[in-house]
């Protein structure tokens, strides 16, 4: 699904890129063709210009010939005037043609021949005019038609025709090339245009399809999102239900366990009370008739019974304490948390103050470093800190002066409260176990039921926090309480 989608996306991208490329090619082709046709127009007008110039030159040649002939026939100075004017114009016209055809070596060669011929022609004509002015006929040959200048003029005419034809031929060749290139570029533009249209249509189709798919995906995603939300809500409700169930279970169990315990203790007390008259009876009988009392009976009444009752009593008392602990834990779970901004520094000081008597007694140094403020349940945090400090006091190492440090820091959205001591430490294998109910670690030389840390952990969880321990034997211990900086109200709701 994902792969094919990626492939389709790549195809669409390539198609769009190709479309733009086609558009570019078509544009270049069109511009090129346009420029070509413009070039062609220029060439045509150039050729026409050259032809016109050549024709003009021919006309001037004709005119000068006519002026000379007129002068030879009739000695009128106006002919001479025309002759001179035209003779002055001819080199100018030749110069113009030379400028126009400077890019064509053939034409340049022709023109230079033309120039030489013209010079000669003009020379011949001048000679003839000068001869006439001097009083001659102005004609060296038999007839005017046999004069040398006639052949020169013929040559000039041929040359100018040649030049025109060359120019025409050039034009035709250029025209053909021009047409070909315009034709090619038109085809290129046409093909590119067609491809562009195809790609455009394809791209529009693909884009529409993708958009439709995107809309569908969006709707699906929204649906999934809603599902997820309801799933989370459901799961949360389930967890809350399960938690409530456990709390209720703990409460009922501890309650129902207490009932038989009252009987055990009650009837033990009755037994205890019964020992007294029984002991007195034994005493009296022993006094009155020592034979009647066997050693065994005396021992049973004076030793065995009190001992048994003592054990029953201490055991039931212990059981009572354990049940009370469970009850307290379950009650703690049912208590509604009251969230407030708790000044942890003041809290630490108050905890230390409440334990000041024992701190002085044991000669312990307690340091409190700044702890960030936390929005949470004051009572619960106080119980946690108090419990941890009490533990630190309880498990000091007797051969070195005790030192306890309370400090705190912020990391991310959480506040870490650390309670460090230099006491006897905890074996790393027990780091998890110590948080279990009724479990303890190390030498059992201190009173306690293994409830404190279990309680601490339950409270920490309740506050959305965690508690961990870092320690090794004889190296002191550091307990780290990680709490959310601000407990969300629904987390603190009664579960």
Partner 1 sequence: MSAHQTVNIVMIEDDEGHARLIEKNIRRAGVNNAIRHFLEGTAALKYLFDAPDGPARNGPALVLLDLNLPDMSGIDILQKMKAPDSPLRRTPVVVLTTTDDKVEIERCYDLGANVYITKPVNYETFAQAIRQLGLFLSVIQVPDPEAD
Binding residues for partner 1, rule: CB under 8 A, are: 255-256, 258-263, 265-270, 320, 323-324
Question: In the bound complex, what is the minimum distance in angstroms from residue 321's beta carbon to partner 1?
Answer: 10
Is the Cβ of residue 203 or residue 268 nearer to partner 1 in the bound state?
268
CB atoms within 10 A of CB 361: 10
- Calpha distance 86→132 (Å, rounded): 19
- Least distance in Å: CB of 449 to partner 1? 15
**Residue placing its CB nearer to partner 1 in the complex, 174 or 258:** 258
**Closer residue to partner 1, CB minimum distance, 117 or 305:** 305
Which residue, 42 or 263, is less far from partner 1 as judged by CB?
Answer: 263
Least distance to partner 1, CB of residue 259, Å: 6
Q: Which CB sits closer to partner 1, 221 or 262?
A: 262
Strand partners, 484: 414
Per-residue CA distances from 140 to 66, 120, 122, 348 (Å): 18, 16, 16, 144
Please state the closest distance from residue 264 (CB atom) to partner 1, in A: 8
Residue 258 vs 403, nearer CB to partner 1: 258
Which tokens belong to 114? Answer: 């033309």
CB of 278 to partner 1, least distance (A): 18
Are 422 and 430 within 8 A, CB to CB?
no
**In whole angstroms, how close is the CB of 272 to partner 1 at the nearest point?**
10
Nearer to partner 1, 140 or 255 (CB): 255
Nearer CB in complex with partner 1: 309/473 = 309
Among residues 169 and 335, whose Cβ is nearest to partner 1? Answer: 335
**SS3 labels along the chain:** CHHHHHHHHHHHHHHHHHHHHHHHHHHHHHHHHHHHHHHHHHHHHHHHHHHHHHHHHHHHHHHHHHHHHHHHHCCCHHHHHHHHHHHHHHHHHHHHHHHHCCCCHHHHHHHHHHHHHHHHHHHHHHHHHHHHHCCCCCCCCCCHHHCHHHHHHHHHHHHHHHHHHHHHHHHHHHHHHHHHHHHHHHHHHHHHHHHHHHHHHHHHHHHHHHHHHHHHHHHHHHHHHHHHHHHHHHHHHHHHHHHHHHHHHHHHHHHHHHHHHHHHHHHHHHHHHHHHHHHHHHHHHHHHCCCCCCHHHHHHHHHHHHHHHHHHHHHHHHHHHHHHHHHHHHHHHHCCCCEEEECHHHHHHHHHHHCHHHHHHHCCEEEECCCCCEEEEHHHHHHHHHHHHHHHHHCCCCCCCCEEEEEEEEECCEEEEEEEECCCCCCHHHCCHHHCCCCCCCCCCCCCCCCHHHHHHHHHHHCCCEEEEEECCCCCEEEEEEEECECCHHHHCCC
User: Nearer to partner 1 by C-beta: 102 or 263?
Assistant: 263
**Least distance from C-beta 257 to partner 1, angstroms?**
10
Within its chain, how far is the Cα of 331 from the centroid?
A: 49
Q: Distance between CA atoms of 434 and 274, rounded to whole angstroms?
A: 42
Nearer to partner 1, 249 or 267 (CB): 267
Nearest distance, CB of residue 265 and partner 1, angstroms = 4
Sign of CA dihedral 275, 276, 277, 282: positive
Cβ nearer to partner 1, comparing 92 with 262: 262
CB of 428 to partner 1, least distance (A): 38
What minimum distance in Å lies between the beta carbon of 451 and partner 1?
16
Nearest distance, CB of residue 263 and partner 1, angstroms: 3
Q: CB 322 → partner 1: shortest distance, Å? A: 12
């Amino acid at each position: 699904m994902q792969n094919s989608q990626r492939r389709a996306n790549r195809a669409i991208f390539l198609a769009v890129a190709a479309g733009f490329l086609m558009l570019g090619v078509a544009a270049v082709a069109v511009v090129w063709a346009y420029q070509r046709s413009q070039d062609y127009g220029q060439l045509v007008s150039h050729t026409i210009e050259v032809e016109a110039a050549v024709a003009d030159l021919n006309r001037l040649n004709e005119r000068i010939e006519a002026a000379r002939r007129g002068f030879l026939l009739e000695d009128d100075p106006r002919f001479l005037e025309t002759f001179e004017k035209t003779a002055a114009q001819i080199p100018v016209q030749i110069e113009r043609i030379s400028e126009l055809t400077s890019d064509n070596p053939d034409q340049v060669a022709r023109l230079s021949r033309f120039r030489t011929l013209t010079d000669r022609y003009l020379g011949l004509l001048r000679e003839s005019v000068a001869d006439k002015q001097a009083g001659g006929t102005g004609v060296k040959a038999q007839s005017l038609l046999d004069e040398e200048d006639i052949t020169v003029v013929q040559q000039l005419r041929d040359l100018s025709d040649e030049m025109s034809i060359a120019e025409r031929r050039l034009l035709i060749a250029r025209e053909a090339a021009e047409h070909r290139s315009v034709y090619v570029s038109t085809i290129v533009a046409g093909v590119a245009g067609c491809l562009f249209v195809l790609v455009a249509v394809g791209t529009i189709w693909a884009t529409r399809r993708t958009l439709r798919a995107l809309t569908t995906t969006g709707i699906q995603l929204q649906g999934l999102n809603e599902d997820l939300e309801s799933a989370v809500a459901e799961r949360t409700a389930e967890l809350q239900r399960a938690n409530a169930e456990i709390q209720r279970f703990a409460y009922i169990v501890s309650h129902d366990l207490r009932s038989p315990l009252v009987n055990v203790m009650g009837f033990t007390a009755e037994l205890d009370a019964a020992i007294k008259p029984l002991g007195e009876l034994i005493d009296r009988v022993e006094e009155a008739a020592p034979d009647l009392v066997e050693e065994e009976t005396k021992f049973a009444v004076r030793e065995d019974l009190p001992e048994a009752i003592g054990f029953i009593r201490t055991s039931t008392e212990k059981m009572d304490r354990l049940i009370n602990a469970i009850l307290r834990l379950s009650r703690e779970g049912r208590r509604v948390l009251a969230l407030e901004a708790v000044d942890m520094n003041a809290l630490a000081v108050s905890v230390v103050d409440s334990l000041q008597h024992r701190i002085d007694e044991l000669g312990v140094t307690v340091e409190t470093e700044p702890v960030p403020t936390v929005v949470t349940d004051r009572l619960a945090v106080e119980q946690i800190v108090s419990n941890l400090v009490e533990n630190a006091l309880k498990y000091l190492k007797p051969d070195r002066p005790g030192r306890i440090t309370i400090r705190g820091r912020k990391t991310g959205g959480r506040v870490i409260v650390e309670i460090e001591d230099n006491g006897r430490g905890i074996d790393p294998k027990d780091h998890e176990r110590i948080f279990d109910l009724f479990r303890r670690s190390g030498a059992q030389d201190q009173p306690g039921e293994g409830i404190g840390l279990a309680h601490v952990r339950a409270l920490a969880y309740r506050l959305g926090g965690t508690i961990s321990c870092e320690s090794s034997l004889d190296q002191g211990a550091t307990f780290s309480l990680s709490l959310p900086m601000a407990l969300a109200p629904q987390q603190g709701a009664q579960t």
